[in-house]
Structure 1
Amino acid sequence: MEKAKSWKKSFFTIYIGQAFSLLSSSAVQFSIIWWITMETGSALSLTIASVIGLLPQAVIGLFAGVWIDRFNRKKIMIIADSAVALSSLILGILFIIGIKSIIFVYIVLFIRALGETFHKPALQAAIPNLVPQSELTKAGGFGQMINSACSIVGPMLSAFLMSITSLQYAMLVDVFGAAFAVTTLSTVKFLNNTASQGDKLSIIQDMKLGISAFKSNKALLRLSVPMIISTIIFVPIGTLLPLMVKWYFNGTAWHNGLVQTLFSTGMLIAAMIIGFTGGLKKQFLMISLSTGLLGICSLIGGILPASLFWIFCIVVFVMGTTGMGFNIPFTSYIQRTVPAENLGKVISLVTSVMSFAAPVGIFIAGPISEIIGVINWMICAGIVMIFVGLLCYFLTREFDTPLNSEVIVNEK
């Protein structure tokens, strides 16, 4: 099959461009947050920035999938990248001529989040047109490897940029990154997705079609419950790690930086391994084991004595690897089993739900950890995640067959 032979060339052509775009975007995003921090010194201002970053995916994402399935996904990605670059350019120009308003910064953050709302699901929905079904998990591993690397290097690049220049010139880096991404994306040929009956439906009807496609996939429906719980638990654990380092292990900023780096490095290495090997052949088993392993790491981290910080560092590194063990196979399963005409809608729906679940987890973990202590929260979260891993295994094991064919599964 031609796709089986040539997919890596097209895939890596796209992701080389995306790597530049992701890296520049990550650097600029951190630069913007740092500018807000320095200009306002306000926790409220940073909270508003965070909410603005989440809102488009959580709200508009429900509808974005409809357009992703109706229109050319390649053009959607190019428009999204271009819109983000244009907003960065305009903000840079405004700052250069002396108009430095936090309102304009918030608007740019919203446009950036809006672009991501369309770009990421469109890319994930387009990948199955390039990659054989049996290789989707590997492709997901390579993609996440690039994302993780950019998330590690991005803040470093941001710190370098802000040390030698100001925000207005740092914004121009995003323009060059997006331009390179658009150029490489333009050279790759995608199969044209057709919306079939979607063109004749209203936006709401088409969105309901995506919800029906999600509900008709029995394994995906069962898997979504553990995934939502995992997101609610996993995101706060990463947020609470600095508190663990400072208040329990009596660490400094250096210790906290080490922990954050180890967590991100764990994600990067796990994505790399999955990219080269495809991970376990039984995808649902990999998700279940990763979920349970996160629980074990959280539990160990909570019961360690304060004198064993270096053991905690190892635990954090392993904890970082667990996220890739359920995110990558989960996404590849959606790509393999959801029909192409509904793929954008389903991916956007799942992403929106997860976008809601993440802040819910933070809102739950924050007050509870204040009452019972971060250590006890880690222990409780660990116990919950171990049971979630077991739940995931028993809910999905009947659908867990090795990836040895390109037959689309439709459980009904």
Structure 2
Amino acid sequence: MTTTPPQDSAGPERGTPGPHDGAAPPGGPAVAEADPATAEAERPGWRRDVTVFLTGQTVSLLGSMLVQYAVMWHLTLTTQSGTVLAVSSVVGFLPQAVVSVFGGVWADRLDRRALIIGADATIAVTTLALALLMMAGADDLWLIYLTLAIRSAGAGIQTPAVGALLPQIVPTSRLMRVNGINGTIQAALMLLAPAAAAALYAGWDIVAIFFVDVVTAVVGIALLLTIRVPRLVRSDADAPVGYFDDLVAGFRYVAHHAFVRWVLGLFAVVFVLIVAPSYLTPLMVVRTFGDEVWKLTVNEVAFSVGMMLGGGAVAAWAANANRMALLLRSTLVFGVLSVAMGLSTNMWVFFSLMFALGLAVPFFSTPSTTVLQETVEPEMQGRVFGFVGIVMALAMPVGMAVFGPLADRFRVEQLLVAAGIALFAVVGLAMALPSGRRSIAAAGARATSDA
């Protein structure tokens, strides 16, 4: 039931303090550690821990994705109401955005592994309760809404803890590769989950999928319990710090850390702008190329296969690549592909562009996560990834609130072209900002020194 990989409780050896005054952090291959023996000496047994952790998270995530598809289909088939689907989206996203602010603080104050387990267990119990109630004949919409809200709140606790845990069990130089592998796994699940959910939903019903989700959560928790996570040692451990002091410190950290602010801003704007190609393309396919189901299927499969291959490429090739260069170049590629899709008049060319878009996504998402893991101090990572969770939870609804109504007034092709042009402007602005120039310069200098 997780959406992002956790990171173990890094001890004081993990990462040097990042600049709070806006100085640029490492943007290239932050710690180029090409010797596998060195990585093994840095964190003995890390490969086993990462394998067990990613296996547990994969199983748990599969259960969550099954529920996501099943609930969407169930509400669509039983209500055929756009309002019901809109409400389910709000209750499925908004609690995560709100709770992430506090979840990030908890991830820096408490045992991150325990937080992940607690959130997963709470979600599982809630889902089990809904399954039992539906078996007893209760089918009120408010029960489903409440369950979605609790699951979303659990993700708000879980996601920052997951984002702050991985650097503790992975050597710094291996973060890019491990994040790339995880992205490949998630893309593969995007292909598997809809088919599995459809088979379960058709053969049984939504209650059966709820029970499967509970089982996958138990498996994920059991595997996570086998991983030893060292206690996080804070640099301010001798000073009594209250919860709200940590909360305020998190806001101040992001506000005053120019590089973190720059990455989060870029992440948010790009996320909003890629809503058009990623969520409106099915509408374009139906309007322009026909409403056959197989065409919609090819559209989704092309994107998912591209993401899966892109994640593998990042893991195999880009581990030591300049993070900042990847971020900016992939954003430019998003812009080019968005414009090309808007101008495309051939269906198979369009599907090829969707594949290319999926291929490019890991070259943006993986380095953006990795550079934050490499830069932010271990005791601040929970709060920073709390803000990442807020961005992820709000960017898609905000993007759809903008592009959705526009799609009823303009052709989707026009919106794709506009989104692509806007992405070009984003890259120009990101490079023009002082924090952006300092970050890019530092990345280039680091890449040169490590070469």
Using the size of structure 1 for normalisation, the TM-score is 0.92
Is 1:285 aligned with 2:318? Answer: no
CA drift at 1:72: 0.2
> How large is the RMSD of aligned CA atoms in angstroms?
2.1
d(CA) in 1 for partners of 2:304 and 2:219?
A: 26
- Give unmatched runs, 5+ long, in structure 1: 407-412
Alignment equivalent of 1:381, drawn from 416, 419, 440: 419
d(CA) in 1 for partners of 2:285 and 2:245?
A: 49
Is 1:44 aligned with 2:83? Answer: yes
CA drift at 1:254: 1.0
AA aligned to 2:270 is S
Partner of residue 409, structure 2: 371
Report if the CA contact (8 A) 1:53-1:113 is conserved: yes
Partner of residue 126, structure 2: 87
Alignment equivalent of 2:247, drawn from 187, 207, 218: 207
Count of aligned residue pairs for this structure pair: 404
Deviates more, 1:375-384 or 1:361-370: 361-370
Alignment equivalent of 2:135, drawn from 86, 90, 96: 96
AA aligned to 1:386 is F
CA drift at 1:251: 4.6
Report if the CA contact (8 A) 1:83-1:115 is conserved: yes
**1:132-211 aligned within 5 A:** 132-194=171-233, 197=236, 200-211=240-251
Report if the CA contact (8 A) 1:284-1:393 is conserved: no
Partner of residue 308, structure 2: 268
Q: Greater share of helix residues, 1 or 2?
A: 1
AA aligned to 2:378 is A
Ranked by relative contact order (alpha carbons within 8 Å, sequence separation 6 or more), the top structure is: 2
d(CA) in 2 for partners of 1:195 and 1:403?
A: 30
Which deviations, in whole Å up to 9, do the C-alpha atoms of 1:137-170 show, x marking residues without a partner? 1111111222222222111111010111122222
SS at match of 1:77: helix
d(CA) in 2 for partners of 1:99 and 1:195?
A: 48
Partner of residue 9, structure 1: 48
Which deviations, in whole Å up to 9, do the C-alpha atoms of 1:329-374 show, x marking residues without a partner? 1111111111111110011012203322222211111233333321
- Give unmatched runs, 5+ long, in structure 2: 1-37
SS at match of 2:45: helix
Change (3 A) 1:215 1:33: same
Which deviations, in whole Å up to 9, do the C-alpha atoms of 1:259-291 show, x marking residues without a partner? 111111111111121123335611110011110
d(CA) in 1 for partners of 2:423 and 2:111?
A: 40
Partner of residue 293, structure 2: 253
d(CA) in 1 for partners of 2:240 and 2:364?
A: 36
Change (3 A) 1:405 1:177: farther
Is 1:344 aligned with 2:382? Answer: yes
Partner of residue 107, structure 1: 146
Report if the CA contact (8 A) 1:290-1:389 is conserved: no
CA drift at 1:88: 1.6
Is 1:72 aligned with 2:111? Answer: yes
**1:52-67 aligned within 5 A:** 52-67=91-106
SS at match of 1:189: coil
d(CA) in 1 for partners of 2:85 and 2:95?
A: 17
Report if the CA contact (8 A) 2:302-2:358 is conserved: yes
CA drift at 1:215: 3.4
CA drift at 1:224: 2.9
Change (3 A) 1:350 1:340: same
SS at match of 1:372: coil
Using the size of structure 2 for normalisation, the TM-score is 0.85
Which deviations, in whole Å up to 9, do the C-alpha atoms of 1:171-191 show, x marking residues without a partner? 110111011101110000111
Deviates more, 1:360-369 or 1:148-157: 360-369
d(CA) in 2 for partners of 1:217 and 1:132?
A: 24
d(CA) in 2 for partners of 1:123 and 1:218?
A: 24
CA drift at 1:192: 1.2
Partner of residue 237, structure 1: 277
Identity of aligned residues (%): 27
d(CA) in 2 for partners of 1:393 and 1:317?
A: 28
AA aligned to 2:61 is L
Report if the CA contact (8 A) 2:180-2:311 is conserved: yes
Change (3 A) 1:45 1:192: same
